[in-house]
Amino acid sequence: MKKLNGGYAKYFNERYDRKGTLFEGRYKSVPVTAQSHFIHLPYYIHLNPLDMFDHGWRDRVVHSHADTIKYLENYRWSSHLDYLGKKNFPSVTQREFLLEFFGGQEGYAQALAQWVKDISINEIHDIILEK
C-alpha cells in the first residue's frame, strides 16, 4: 500500500503542480478473522460516503432513510452501484462472492436498506479503524 499510495501521490502532485502528502496518517488495516466481521464490512465500506451527507449516521442517527438510500444510489465514487447492478467500476470489483452471500443484487440492496434502518456502529466498533 505504501508503494501504491506513494506512486499515486507523486503522479497527482506532478499532474497538478503541487507538493506534499495526499493522505493523512499511515495506511491502516484490520484483518478479517471472523464471519461476523465480514458480514458488516460491505455496509461499513459502502456507508462511508454518508460522512458527506448525514454526519449523524455514525452516532446511529439517520434523518431520512429514503434520502440516505437515494444519496448512496447517486454517489458515483463507490462500488456500491456495481453491487446494485449499475455499472460504475465493474472491471475493478469482484462482486460474485459477496452477491452470492446476499442472494444477488436485490438481496444486497434489501440487506443494506435494512442495515441503514437498524444502523448500529456500536455493533462493529471493535473491528473498525476509528478508535
Over the stretch 28-40, which tens digit does the pLDDT of each residue have?
788 888 887 888 8
Q: Is the predicted pLDDT of residue 118 greater than 80, yes or no? A: no
| Domain co-membership, 7 together with 38 | no
Predicted TM-score (pTM) of this structure: 0.66
Residues 19, 67 within the same domain: no
Identify the pLDDT of residue 108. 92
Task: Say whether both 114 and 58 belong to one domain.
Answer: yes
User: For 71-105, how does the pLDDT look when each residue is reduced to its tens digit (9 = 90+)?
Assistant: 999 999 999 999 999 988 877 888 888 899 999 99
pLDDT of residue 10: 92
- 57 with 117, same domain? yes
Which residues neighbour 18 within 8 Å (Cβ) at sequence distance 6 or greater? 12
Answer whether residue 23 shows pLDDT above 90. no
Structural domain harbouring 121: 31-127
Nearest to 112 by CA among 34, 42, 32: 42
Q: How far apart are CA 18 and CA 15, in angstroms?
A: 8
Residue 119, pLDDT score: 66
- Same domain for 69 and 24? no
Total tally of structural domains belonging to the chain: 2
